[in-house]
Amino acid sequence: MADPFLWIVDNELVIPGVRDARTFLHVSDAHLCVSDEGSAPAEAAEAAGWDARWMKTKEEFARHFGEPFGEAQRVSTREAFDRILAWAREEGPEALLLSGDNLERMHPAGERYLSRRLREYGGPFLCVPGNHEAEACPGAWESGVRTLEYGDFRIVAVDDRLMTVSDEALDRLAALAAEGLPMILVCHVPVAASGNREKMRRFGGYFAIDGETADGNGRRFVRFLEEADAVRMVLCGHIHGYSDTEIVPGKRQITASQGMIGFVHRLTVRGGAA
């Protein structure tokens, strides 16, 4: 019997020349609120308060987006994340892609828990920070642009949690694009670009890096995504609802809904005609 907690959405990306089909699991916005035996009473109380607030707020987001929500989704952030990881371990994807707001806040118990659970997961993963998080979290993600290489294409992690991208990251992205290898970008905040600006603006200015109104580096990032032929898809989160739009025609940006309600985006990359 299928787990009623999980909601799986499948997509496919065709990249001519790719020899072997590879499947990735994309999860976002787990907002882990955790305490443990090492937590001071104040930290434990704070984590419990965060979790209680999300128990209500995640349902409000789901109702707003018309997404599945029932008794199966009324679980703690910790249980939600554990169940997704358990299912991912059974699925055995090429990699688990975590597109930010993995933690509700940077707190010691949460950081310990996330790094331990990802280590126990045992498979390849790539994690980016969200706007609730810091630049680095040892054992979960590091600062800077990072890649997973697959010969025919690569997955690229980019930190855009501050609604912009650093000079160093932009330069690194440009250098990677110049190599010509197709790439899928994983970031947290989606972009409002020439092809999807109207749709993204309906979510509100807080939820996208707008290529017309962002700071200089934010605008440069959006232009890069629009113009770089190497970029084939963008995977992100932040909105707390599933969205599939085109940055420019033929170049999709997929935002994962909330991991807290059991959402997993399953992406298969294969070869074939474009």
Q: Where are the domains of the chain?
A: 7-269
Phi and psi angles of residue 255, each rounded to the nearest 5 degrees, phi first: -100, 130
- Which sign, positive or negative, has the C-alpha torsion 220, 222, 226, 228? positive
Which strands make up the sheet holding 183-186, listed edge to edge? 146-149, 154-157, 183-186, 231-236, 251-255, 243-248
pLDDT value for 274: 63
pLDDT value for 272: 86
Structure tokens at 37: 């035996």
Pairing type for strands 263-270 and 22-27 reads: antiparallel
> Whole-number mean pLDDT of the chain?
97
Q: What angle do CA 74, 118, 261 make, to 5 degrees?
A: 20
Pairing type for strands 251-255 and 243-248 reads: antiparallel
Domain at 7-269, CATH homologous superfamily = GpdQ, beta-strand dimerisation domain (3.30.750.180)
Alpha-carbon distance of 140 to 128, in angstroms, equals 8
Where residue 61 falls among pLDDT bands split at 50, 70, 90? Answer: very high
Residue 102 has pLDDT above 60, yes or no: yes
pTM for the full predicted model:
0.97
pLDDT value for 2: 77
